[in-house]
Structure 1
Amino acid sequence: MEIHGYSKEEQDAEGLIPAELAEITLVASPNELRRIAKFLENCATGIEERGKSWTHEHLSDQDKSFENSPHFVVYNPNYEL
């Protein structure tokens, strides 16, 4: 597993390459954590069912209550065009 990301200040810069992060901290309510867990479970199922054709998914696309939250993206490490 790898974790990549941007700082809040960098998020709108063009041509930005995400940095590999050593640690992340989720500051979330129990309800938010359960919704994130459901999202992660759905991503895992998508990867298992679609294999290398499953690219990535954004939490806010699946759960609109996260639209104003930092971007949370799951990417398939085995994705192939």
Structure 2
Amino acid sequence: MKIYGYKNTELASEDIVPDELAEITLVASVQELRKIARFINSAADDMERDNSNWEHRHLSDADKSFEGSPQFVVYRSNTQN
């Protein structure tokens, strides 16, 4: 597993480059954490069902209550475990 992130800056979209992160911290309520957990489980189920075509999912697309939050994206690894 790898974790990538972007700084929250005013850069032009072509100047934004993801960095591999060593750590992430989620500052969230119990309800938000449970929604994120459901999203991750659902993404894993979808990936398992359609592994050859499944690429990524955005939390804010699955749950509109996260539309104003930083983007949370689950992306399929090239290695399968």
What is the TM-score when the length of structure 2 is the normalising length? 0.89
| Structure 1: runs of 5+ lacking an equivalent | none
- Give the C-alpha shift of residue 16 in structure 1: 2.5
Give the Cα separation in 2 of the matches to 1:76 and 1:41.
13
Q: Is residue 3 from structure 1 mapped to residue 18 from structure 2 by the alignment? A: no
Give the Cα separation in 1 of the matches to 2:12 and 2:66.
18
Q: How many residues align?
A: 79
Percentage of pairs with the same residue: 54
RMSD: 1.7
Q: Tell me the residue number matched to 2:52.
A: 52
Runs of 4+ residues over 3 Å off in structure 1: none
| Structure 2: runs of 5+ lacking an equivalent | none
Q: Tell me the residue number matched to 1:32.
A: 32
What is the TM-score when the length of structure 1 is the normalising length? 0.89
User: 1:60 touches 1:71 (CA, 8 Å); kept in 2?
Assistant: yes
Q: What residue identity is the alignment partner of 2:4?
A: H
